[in-house]
Amino acid sequence: MDFNFKYVIIGGGSAGSVIANRLSENPNHSVCLIEAGPRDSLPQIKMPLAASSLFKNKKYGWCDESVPQSKLLNRTINSPRGKTLGGSSSINGMVYIRGQQKDYNAWLDGKFGWDYHSLLPYFISLENNQDLADQYHGNFGPLWVETFKGSLPASNLFMQACANYGLPHNQDFNGENQEGYGLYQTNIKNGQRFSAADAFLRPIHERPNLTILTNAHVNKLIIHKGTAVGVEITHKKTNQVITSNKDIILSAGAFNSPKILMLSGIGNYEELEKHSITGVRDLPGVGKNLKDHLTVNLSVLLKDHHQTFKEKMSFFSTLKELSMYLFSKKGLYTYPAADVGVFFKSSSDKERPDAQVHFAPGAGKYHKNGKMSPESGITASVTILRPKSSGSVAIASANPKDAPLIDPNYLNADEDLLDLRNAVKITREILSSSPIKEEMIREILPGEDIQTDSALDQFIQQTGLSVYHPVGTCKMGFDEMSVVDNYLKVWGINNLRVADLSIAPDIISGNTNALGNVIGAKCADAILKAN
């Protein structure tokens, strides 16, 4: 293998896959894509309903936990990320959301090409939408997007309740406005997950100028006189150095990108000195500004004549559904993490929707061993979209194999708890609207005894979980806490860029994976125009 390339990309996920695709289009560009995990060959990756089973798979995921969260009763929170080609797009819930226009217009004061109207052409060009064709959607891009159509009857019951509550129906959360209820658009093609690897790597993996290294763990960047010149990796149990004569692009995600920078001497000097790491560039913002979405599950038990996951999970039904999936890629196993979505305002003083629901026609009781007993019920997972709380990612030691210290600092801002409590109240009202109220046996979560504000707050603190949308730890900008500029170049280091969700100045209003693809495309354009 040649160990010298024009471009080296670290991370084969939602952004890195796009960059590898775009840069290798020119046969004169030698490109190396380094991925810490294996190829995405695990059958469960392709099966949509199996997504949650991948969160604890250490071969295909990082399986990290947060540090104890003081505002969540000192609980540690599961923080999974994909460790395979496709990255987290190979283990996520497959929901395709872009966020709101005003999210992007607030970035960099709406300048420098990161406002909504500048980014929209990227979303359009990447998208192959099967259901929508208008000024907001593309129909010829590599990324398959379709509105989920296999909902169970219990999902329709929930949508009727949303309508009766007074919410507008919205057939396109990625269009003119986001408010309302409707079916999610998903990255599912012919009943199977369609990841970033499927869209951007699989069609081009045989290009002679593209080298894809899997099971290659990055230890650090090699910086020489202020220029990034190489990457030290552990591959096949030996340390190797991959060099670049042009750009090194760090696309390892919101947790690992700042970790790699810090291991390479780029970060807050005082923090690096604690681990005896020689500082190369003092950038105090590395690892700071971590934002994530916190969610709370609300569930109700329904009369058993309604079709939910439970009715599909009896012994014989499971065999039938599995057979249907294996032979025709239809049925229960094609289900995404959520089929119905709701976007609403948590209070009347909100200018735009600030809360989101991920709905699934299932409910259950979790046991200490992690297994779940399904019940005839439905679950609405509610989150606030633009939390004020921010946290950090730090390194635990100078050992690259040690997991980072992840501190989302959930609910540190009092406003976040208030907004989430209000969003929970509204979601409860939807779940008690007709026709659900006539078919409900009882509320499982929070439970009928949880009624006061203080009791709701305690419930949120006891049960809140991550939606797995971390961003911001290598933020783009021009202040002293910024890590990259608007071209995604690391401040003060030549030939080094960061391109993943870590560069987001703030979290967007919704699921984040689609944005990862766009960041990759923007970075590739910036590189090609510069070179």
Q: Which amino acids are annotated catalytic?
A: 469
Q: Quote helix, strand, coil % in the chain, to nearest 5.
A: 30, 25, 45
Q: Starting from the edge strand earliest in sequence, which strands make up the sheet with 185-186, in order?
A: 127-129, 143-147, 185-186
| DSSP characters over 386-444 | S-S--BEEE-SSS-TTSPPEEE--TT-SHHHHHHHHHHHHHHHHHHTSTTHHHHEEEEE
- H or E segment at 268? none
DSSP β-ladder status, 127-129 and 143-147: parallel
- H or E segment at 324? helix 315-328
Return all residues near 7 (Cβ < 8 A) that are at least 6 apart: 23, 29, 30, 31, 32, 244, 246, 247, 248, 249, 527
The number of residues in the chain equals: 531
The answer to whether the CB of 172 falls within 8 A of the CB of 136 is: yes
Query: What is the crossing angle of helices 414-431 and 453-463, to 10°?
Result: 100
Exposed e or buried b for every residue in 170-202, given b needs 16+ CB within 10 A? bebbbeeebebbbbbbbbbbebbbbbbbbbbbb
Among residues 454, 471, 445, 507, the alpha carbon closest in space to that of 296 is found at: 445
Return all residues near 28 (Cβ < 8 A) that are at least 6 apart: 209
The amino acid occupying position 278 is T
Q: What is the DSSP letter of 347?
A: S
Helix (H, G, I), strand (E, B) or coil at 11: coil
**Which single residue is written with the structure tokens 């679950």?**
379
Q: Is the bond leading into 446 cis (omega within 30 degrees of zero)?
A: yes
Instruction: Give residue 303's Cα distance to chain centre.
Output: 34
Q: What is the Cα–Cα distance from 531 to 518, expressed in whole angstroms?
A: 20
Q: Name residue 7's beta-bridge partners.
A: 31, 247
Q: Name residue 509's beta-bridge partners.
A: none
| DSSP characters over 476-507 | BSSSTT--B-TT-BBTT-BTEEE-SGGG-SS-
